[in-house]
């Protein structure tokens, strides 16, 4: 069902991220986006960092969806300041 990948492709992938027989490689990608209403927020008013969203000017205006954003904090908690 799967064809072997060429060596020039496999050589770019760590042996831990590919099959021993050369028929597949593992990969992943993700993006973090912030959706906003262009009729309500000017581009000059956009935050410079996701951390800016904790400021009082965004109180009650930010609604994160999904809980995947919590996982990094649970796996690698930020030490107290």
Give the mean pLDDT per block of 10 residues along the chain (81 residues).
Answer: 80 89 83 85 90 89 72 64 64
Closest to 35 measured CA to CA, from 74, 58, 62, 57:
62
Query: What is the token pair recorded at 73?
Result: 């904090």
Taking CA atoms, 12 is separated from 3, 5, 19, 45, in Å, by: 17, 11, 13, 42
Paired residues of 18 in beta bridges: 25
Q: What pLDDT sits at residue 81?
A: 64
pLDDT value of position 76: 60
At residue 44, the pLDDT reads 93
Residues whose CB falls within 8 Å of the CB of residue 27, separated by 6 or more in sequence, listed in order: 17
């Amino acid at each position: 069902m799967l064809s072997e990948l060429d060596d020039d492709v496999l050589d770019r992938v760590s042996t831990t991220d590919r099959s021993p027989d050369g028929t597949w490689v593992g990969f992943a990608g993700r993006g973090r986006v912030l959706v906003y209403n262009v009729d309500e927020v000017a581009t000059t008013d956009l935050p410079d960092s996701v951390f800016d969203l904790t400021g009082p000017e965004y109180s009650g205006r930010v609604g994160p969806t999904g809980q995947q954003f919590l996982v990094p904090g649970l796996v690698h908690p930020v030490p107290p300041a």
